[in-house]
Amino acid sequence: FFMLSQFSYHPESQKYSFGNNEIMQLTDDTNMKIADEKTEQKQDSSVTLLAGKTAAKQMGRLLVEVIPWADVYINDKKINTTPLSDYIKLAPGRYNIKLIHPDYPVYTKRIFVGNENIENVIVNFKELTGYLNCNIYPWGEIYINDEYKSQTPLREPIKLLPGSYKLTIKNPQHGSITETIAIKSKNIFEFKYNFENKNF
């Protein structure tokens, strides 16, 4: 707390005098400098605000819906697990989407997200998936696209997404057989082979 005991103004020099004989002088240069600083700060704030608004407008949105559920990966990075409470905001560009559920084959899709657009990825694993059932005599190891899947007899059909696959059945005593198969949604592909008779 302080008090100014004496105060006087000298208009000819724009000076303000205080009781302790200290003088503060305001010149035209000082006034211009203060005005310039305020204008510069205002311009900087406007640019920052404009940049923020522009960046916000450029963000696209991704809607992901999966039945029953899935872990959502974008460019091999886990983002969340469905069901999601909101859109996923992404900068414009191309992305690799991967949906993983332990009981179904991995779903992958390449998408493009545009400015202020909404890209939808809606997958129903139950409706999309096809099945492969193998009846092999005496038995066989099952490979899909050179990846080991299971061994006969199967407890349940192998779940696969629709498409063409390289199916290989191997038996240490009888060798192997390779065929190309086509899987369709909600259909069961039956594959039978007898290694002893070499018959399908």
Q: pLDDT by residue (tens digit) across 29-53? A: 544 454 455 545 544 433 333 334 4
Q: Which residue has the higher pLDDT, 46 or 161?
A: 161
Computed over every residue of the chain, the mean pLDDT equals 81
Whether the full predicted model's pTM is greater than 0.75, yes or no, is no
Write down the CATH number for the domain with range 129-194.
Answer: 2.60.40
Domain ranges of the chain: 17-57, 59-125, 129-194
Q: Does 172 sit behind a cis peptide bond, omega within 30 degrees of 0 on the bond before it?
A: no
Q: Which fold has domain 59-125?
A: Immunoglobulin-like (2.60.40)
Same CATH fold assignment for domains 59-125 and 129-194: yes
Q: What is the pLDDT of residue 91?
A: 93
